[in-house]
Amino acid sequence: MNHNSKTALITGGTRGIGRAIALALAGQVENIALLYAGRRDAAEDTVNALLGKGVKSLAFACDVADSAQAKAACDQAREAFGPISILVNSAGITRDGLTLRMPPEDFKRVIEVNLAGAFHTIQACYRDLMKAGWGRVVNIGSVSGLMGNPGQMNYSAAKAGLVGLTKTLARELAGRGVTANLVAPGFIDTDMTRELPDGTLARALAQVPMGRMGKAEEVAAAVNYLCSPGADYVTGCVLQVDGGMYM
């Protein structure tokens, strides 16, 4: 299959891990649509970086927690580039706080963006994937979703939920040539981890056998592999990129 005619859609694709994923996928797709919620300047910067790599790229503002917005953004991407064959759900937020002090709205918002957001984009791209008979869905989870993390009840629950969502999708579409996998980063050096509460990062690094934070590019390399033809027989898997943090 010629990967040069493929379109990838990446949520949260303009900063941090999402941006690194976009740049990595530029080597195997022709078109990349980025969905972003916040910073337009960062989105434009990533689009320009992709254009510089010879990939057609557009960024669409979208709150993936809103199913109508997610559908509209996927529709716009499809109109611009054709059917979506690779979907990477990387959009994520944190609203950390110890359980006793966590406002219920902070719990719900993180679930809505990090978990329901993935559902919304998958639903919006599902027909494209089924019709093509080939496709890739990679959801970005977290080691927090596998082992829990104090102060992240909302985030851990959402990321754990993505594991079940991913495996369900993998089973639904396995017979249609579509794979669904989850990449679970550990502590990666991004804007998001820089916002972690005092002490959390130091305690976390003490649990990492490799003794360092990961790089966004190292997560992107895992996603790039799962989207490649070489991963045709890999589906429903959780691929940890965590320096051995959880095993």
Partner 1 sequence: MDDIMNKVALALASRTSSDPDGIIAETRFSELALDSLDVAELVMDLEDAFSVTIDISQIDGTVGDLVRVIREAAE
Return the residue of 175, 199, 209, 230 that touches partner 1, per CB under 8 A. Answer: 175
52, 130 Cβ separation under 8 angstroms: no
Indicate whether 127 belongs to the interface with partner 1 (CB under 8 A).
yes
Which helix (H) or strand (E) segment is 94 a member of? none
Query: Closer to partner 1 at the Cβ: 167 or 176?
Result: 176
Return the residue of 40, 131, 203, 212 that touches partner 1, per CB under 8 A. Answer: 131
Nearest approach in angstroms of CB 132 to partner 1 is 11
The count of residues interacting with partner 1 (CB under 8 A) is 7
Q: How far is CA 240 from CA 7, 33, 56, 113, 174, in A?
A: 25, 25, 30, 21, 21
Task: Please count the CA atoms within 13 angstroms of the CA of 32 that sit on its side-chain side.
Answer: 33
Q: In angstroms, rounded to a whole number, what is the distance separating the alpha carbons of residues 183 and 92?
A: 13
Query: Closer to partner 1 at the Cβ: 36 or 126?
Result: 126
Check if 225 is active-site.
no
Tell me the window of 46-54, 57-65, 123-131, 205-213 that interacts with partner 1 (CB under 8 A): 123-131
Nearest approach in angstroms of CB 135 to partner 1 is 13
Query: Closer to partner 1 at the Cβ: 172 or 217?
Result: 172
Query: Closer to partner 1 at the Cβ: 136 or 159?
Result: 136
- Catalytic pick from 36, 126, 155, 233? 155
Q: In angstroms, rounded to a whole number, what is the distance separating the alpha carbons of residues 14 and 203?
A: 29
Radius of gyration of the chain, Cα coordinates, nearest whole angstrom: 17
Q: In angstroms, rounded to a whole number, what is the distance separating the alpha carbons of residues 121 and 118?
A: 5
Site residues (vs partner 1, CB under 8 A): 127, 130-131, 172-173, 175-176
Question: Hey, which residues are catalytic here?
Answer: 155
